[in-house]
């Protein structure tokens, strides 16, 4: 599997587990993802966003 790269800096990103997630005024538990060591932009895995974050959003919205 290819390593994740920052689209801005074109450097390899670091895997992290402390990405801060805020939904409206609520602080959610930290997420796993990737962070660029140069510009600090953070990326969340698409599968995590589609599965975990979407279900939390539905629960919080009462859908």
Contact 42, 12 (CB under 8 A): no
- Separation of alpha carbons 11 and 35, rounded Å: 10
pLDDT per residue over 32-55, tens digit each? 899 999 999 999 887 877 777 777
pLDDT at 2: 65
pLDDT at 14: 95
Cα 56 to the center of its chain, rounded Å:
14
Q: What is the pTM of this model?
A: 0.73
pLDDT per residue over 14-38, tens digit each? 999 999 988 788 888 888 899 999 9
Q: Average pLDDT for residues 5-17, to the nearest whole number?
A: 94
């Amino acid at each position: 599997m290819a390593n994740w790269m920052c689209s801005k800096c074109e450097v390899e990103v670091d895997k992290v587990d402390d990405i801060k997630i805020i939904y409206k005024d609520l602080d959610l538990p930290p997420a796993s993802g990737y962070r660029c060591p140069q510009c600090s932009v953070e990326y969340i895995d698409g599968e995590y966003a589609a599965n975990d974050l979407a279900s939390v959003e539905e629960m919080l919205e009462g859908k």
